[in-house]
């Protein structure tokens, strides 16, 4: 499973990359630190999953989310942010976020979400008669 990280904090991005790279079957294929770079690189790399901070300098992660879901509706998006009030959660859900996590308290839940998708993909391939390829 290919994952792309959109995060403007070097410390958070490096921690995310380290955590995700340790998951068997997950490869971090790139990152972006701003809205424009994120949209361009996501459209080029076409990852399976994007982890997305909605507070970017410059730009806004919600615009990245809207673009992803418009251009690639099947692409999974995990919003991981410090802006966790109801307004942002509702806006992200309406824009198509698959998960919305609090960066401070729910960071490790990203790993759980990825595991569920990896296991589901594995089961679907087995049921459909395809060999379960390791990524």
Question: Is 112 contained in some domain?
Answer: yes
Q: How many domains does the chain contain in total? A: 1
CATH number for the domain including 38? 3.40.50.2300
Domain span at residue 53 reads 2-127
User: Over the stretch 9-54, which tens digit does the pLDDT of each residue have?
Assistant: 999 999 999 989 988 888 999 999 999 999 999 999 999 999 999 8
Question: Is 135 contained in some domain?
Answer: no
User: Over the stretch 82-114, which tens digit does the pLDDT of each residue have?
Assistant: 888 899 899 999 999 998 988 877 767 777 777
Is the pLDDT reported for residue 4 higher than 90? yes
Helix ranges restricted to H, the chain? 10-21, 35-45, 61-71, 86-95, 109-127
User: Over the stretch 65-83, which tens digit does the pLDDT of each residue have?
Assistant: 999 999 999 999 999 888 8
CB 4 within 8 Å of CB 47: yes
pLDDT (0 to 100) of residue 34? 93
Contacts of 4 (CB under 8 A, 6+ apart): 28, 29, 30, 31, 32, 38, 41, 42, 45, 47, 49, 50, 51
Question: Is 111 contained in some domain?
Answer: yes
Question: Is 134 contained in some domain?
Answer: no
């Amino acid at each position: 499973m290919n994952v792309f990280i959109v995060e403007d904090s070097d410390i958070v991005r490096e921690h995310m990359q380290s955590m995700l790279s340790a998951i068997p079957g997950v490869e971090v294929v790139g990152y972006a630190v701003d809205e424009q770079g994120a949209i361009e690189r996501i459209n080029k790399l076409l990852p399976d999953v994007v982890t997305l901070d909605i507070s970017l300098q410059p730009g806004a992660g919600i615009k990245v989310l809207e673009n992803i879901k418009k251009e690639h509706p099947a692409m999974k998006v995990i919003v991981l942010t410090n802006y966790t009030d109801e307004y942002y959660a509702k806006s992200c859900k309406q824009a198509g976020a698959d998960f919305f996590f609090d960066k401070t308290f729910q960071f490790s839940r990203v790993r759980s979400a990825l595991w569920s998708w990896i296991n589901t993909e594995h089961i679907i391939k087995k049921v459909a008669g395809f060999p379960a390829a390791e990524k």
